[in-house]
Amino acid sequence: MSSSQFESLEKTLGTYVPEGELSEVRRILYGKELKSLELPQAAVDSASERDFELKGYVFEAAQEQLRAARVVRVGLIQNKIVLPTDAPVLDQITALHKRVADMVEVAAMCGVNIICFQEAWTMPFAFCTREREPWTEFAESAEEGYTTRFCQELAKKHNMVVVSPILERDEIHGGTLWNTAVVVSNSGKVLGKTRKNHIPRVGDFNESSYYMEGNTGHRVFQTQFGKIAVNICYGRHHPLNWFMYGLNGAEIIFNPSATVGALSEPMWSIEARNAAIANHCFTCAINRVGTEHFKNEFTSGDGKKAHRDFGHFYGSSYVAAPDGSRSPGLSRTQDGLLVTELDLNLNRQIADKWNFKMTGRFDMYAEEIAEAVQHEFQPNIIKE
Amino acid sequence: MSSSQFESLEKTLGTYVPEGELSEVRRILYGKELKSLELPQAAVDSASERDFELKGYVFEAAQEQLRAARVVRVGLIQNKIVLPTDAPVLDQITALHKRVADMVEVAAMCGVNIICFQEAWTMPFAFCTREREPWTEFAESAEEGYTTRFCQELAKKHNMVVVSPILERDEIHGGTLWNTAVVVSNSGKVLGKTRKNHIPRVGDFNESSYYMEGNTGHRVFQTQFGKIAVNICYGRHHPLNWFMYGLNGAEIIFNPSATVGALSEPMWSIEARNAAIANHCFTCAINRVGTEHFKNEFTSGDGKKAHRDFGHFYGSSYVAAPDGSRSPGLSRTQDGLLVTELDLNLNRQIADKWNFKMTGRFDMYAEEIAEAVQHEFQPNIIKE
């Protein structure tokens, strides 16, 4: 079976492993079993008509005496590009707007409060080509671009916070390009933007040809439904990045991504989940899906022949909780919407149990890291 | 099937999932497939006679032009206690010495260069009782204790680096107790000691009743076979701890642990593996195995009745590599020796591919963490 056909780990395990052992397999792989979220029949039908997967799960927390449950529904969207990569730029953007609007409509039927799209969701992930045209034409203003205005409409219409990761053109600062997530409040107002802090130079992901390391630090956005942050793609490999969003109070950290099977798949289920555990918060990992073909051939810095695609985006979007549990992933091959209901009270409950922010000795690390970045740093090595 | 009978995830998957899909399942769960390490028949027979599991795997690296392969064999030992917890202290220690010596002998037959035992390996993990006697009698001098002398003999006899995690009594500094790993060179010399940096106060692991946060920083030990560090148990939940060992140059980080199923099992396969990925090094997670019963009943701070054991130590020791691959785990129920052959050249090869130490922006984090630990810290929160 080829890797781009394999639908999902969960499906294979469910098919073959007998029930008695399956519960142990699931406990070890996924943690505490999650309830399925009951979804309205209209949403289920609509997803099926529109040809995307729809799944729902509930992360519960214990009842408290002094705090009411803080229940929020979060939607993650993974999707293929709609038109070929050589279609006119505006057609490609518009087709993606339409596709995603259709999926957001179903999210609204499911009562979603906060929705996040995949990285650079208005375009193919064309940075592998290292060509400028037409890809830089996909860049838009974070504050006033066509896509942000589109997301503002969605937000108001559905009373939903929209996290919209785009290629940004910053006209105020010299027309620079950035990999940016725009956070639109459910009021329709642009709450702000946050940029990708860590930029890959690996394989086909030589994105530093297009944009630089983000300069917006580790902002957290206070929404009506909780405090959220956005750790874009490559930032998930950097535990300190998650950590600083956590120190700034993020309750849910989104990780909109674009990554392919041969490069990163065995890491995919590890990194966002580790971050949820280590930082006592929820994390939401989103990957695009499908294979994108380009008109001009390109090489990948791996000694192999020039080619026109760089592999299969494996989807598998999931949500991880601070108690080590996680949702099953969306499909590896299909568009999908994952709806999870989170009780944000779980974060403090788990923090009070494990205490990582109390046992973390952060003052010691501030000092040690400050030393380690000095030119005269001497690693602490004991020799015989 | 009860959790303490479930032998291993790998065995269940291998039994039920058909070959075609099993390779995809394994790729997603374990990364690049590892070769089995050919082990001498005498070692296999001896392990079988002595009633412990023996497994071997090879982590390969690409050939380089200017560096020879840097191949090292690492052994991890997981074991049950031998005598009941109310046997005389010295008898318990001596029985564990004998058991482990038998397992080390098999490791030597397998050509192991560096061996690591489980956390507090000379004793039951009795800190759940919160009693002083007889448990503090298990504490020994790191430099001159009975156990260190025993490890020096093993090291010389087998030309093997021995990592020996014990309960330490530091007579020089007021007879204080510490959770410490002693590193003995293959020459037989004590290379040094390193203490547990993060101390749990969770469930039955209220170890701060016995010892404080370690004061030995993030030392790395230069051995003949590579640079090693020891991140003891609870430190695995703290990504900064792994990170500082990495910045000091560790090529292999051992994580000798003691942890039970209900508390941590879904996190077990995540944390050490995430650390290997994030820090471009090998990590070795070791957990003890079996259930330990105590004479006096104790409570666990969870509202439940007093009891005499606190659950099943689930073994499952494994090795993770910087490329996201990992070995299968040892059994959840049996004593075992895991032998892995590592080519340490893989660390730099993966670092050169992914560049996390170049894209890490550590100076930014040194500043941000230094700010975050100040009393007057204001989290970076954007409001509407």
Q: Residue B233 has what pLDDT?
A: 97
In this predicted structure, what is the pLDDT of residue A1?
A: 57
Q: How high is the pLDDT of residue B4?
A: 77
Q: How far is A380 from chain B (nearest CA, A)?
A: 5
List chain B residues with CB under 8 Å of A381. Answer: 219-222, 227, 248-249
B384 at A interface, C-beta within 8 A: yes
Q: Would the CB atoms of B17 and A18 count as touching at under 8 Å?
A: no
Q: Which residues of A160-180 are buried (b: 16+ CB within 10 A; e: fewer)?
A: bbbbbbbbbbbeeeeeebbbb
B32 contacts A24? CB cut-off 8 A: no
Distances B87 to A70, B83, B137, B289, B294 between C-alpha atoms, Å: 51, 6, 13, 19, 11
The residue of chain B nearest to residue A365, with distances taken between CA atoms, is B240
Q: Could you tell me if B284 and B266 are in contact, meaning their C-beta atoms sit under 8 angstroms apart?
A: no
Given a contact cutoff of 8 angstroms between Cβ atoms, the answer to whether B50 and B102 are in contact is: yes
Q: Taking Cα atoms as reference points, which of A111, A121, A122, A32 lies closest to residue A75?
A: A111
For residue B2, give every residue at least 6 positions away whose Cβ sits within 8 Å of its Cβ, in sequence order, or none: none
Of the listed A53, A55, A110, A119, which one is catalytic? A119
Radius of gyration of chain B (CA): 21
Q: What DSSP letter does each residue of B305-339 carry, written as one string?
A: PPBS---EEE---EEE-TTS-BPPPPPSSS-EEEE
Pairing of strands A190-195, A201-202: unpaired
B 29-68: CB under 8 A from A: 29-32
> Which residue among B213, B361, B367 sits closest to A197, beta carbon to beta carbon?
B361
**What does the CA dihedral A97, A99, A102, A104 come to, rounded to 10 degrees?**
-60
The answer to the question of residue A339 being in a domain is yes
Give the pLDDT score at B119: 98
Edge-to-edge strand ranges of the sheet holding B381-382: A318-320, A282-287, A252-257, A226-230, A220-223, B381-382
User: Is residue A28 a part of any domain in this protein?
Assistant: no
3-class DSSP state for residue A216? coil
pLDDT score of B268: 97
Separation of alpha carbons B69 and B72, rounded Å: 9
- The predicted pLDDT at position B54 comes to 98
CATH number of B273's domain: 3.60.110.10
Q: What is the DSSP letter of A34?
A: P
Closest CA to B78 of B341, B342, B333: B333
Preceding omega of A40 cis (within 30 degrees of 0): no
- Cα separation of B26 and B21, whole Å? 9
Contact A58, A37 (CB under 8 A): yes
CB contact at 8 A, A321 and A276: yes
Residue A163 is predicted with a pLDDT of: 98
* CA atoms of B316 and B307, how far apart (whole Å): 25
What is the per-residue pLDDT for B3?
A: 73
Report if residue A263 sits inside a domain: yes
Q: Is B10 domain-assigned?
A: no
**Chosen from B114, B373, B378 to mutate, greatest number of chain A CBs within 10 A:** B373
**How many whole angstroms separate alpha carbon A139 and alpha carbon A176?**
10
**B147 in any annotated domain:** yes
| Residue B382 lies inside a defined structural domain of this protein | no
Whether A231 is covered by a domain: the verdict is yes
- Compute the half-sphere exposure of residue B46: CA atoms within 13 Å on the CB side of its CA: 17
Residue range of the domain that includes A345: 9-17+40-372
Number of domains in chain B: 1
Low-confidence ranges of chain B (pLDDT < 70): 1-2
Beta strands in A117-225 (DSSP E): 161-170, 176-184, 190-195, 201-202, 205-206, 220-223
A295 contact B CB<8A: no
241-260 of A, contacting B, C-beta below 8 A = 242-244, 247-249
pLDDT at position B1: 57
At B278, is the secondary structure helix, strand, or coil? helix
Per-residue pLDDT 10s for chain A (384 aa) are 567 789 999 999 999 999 989 999 999 999 999 999 999 999 999 999 999 999 999 999 999 999 999 999 999 999 999 999 999 999 999 999 999 999 999 999 999 999 999 999 999 999 999 999 999 999 999 999 999 999 999 999 999 999 999 999 999 999 999 999 999 999 999 999 999 999 999 989 989 999 999 999 999 999 999 999 999 999 999 999 999 999 999 999 999 999 998 889 999 999 999 999 999 999 999 999 999 999 999 999 889 999 999 899 999 999 999 999 999 999 999 999 999 999 999 999 999 999 999 999 999 999 999 999 999 999 999 999
pLDDT at A5: 84
Nearest CA in chain B to A222: B383
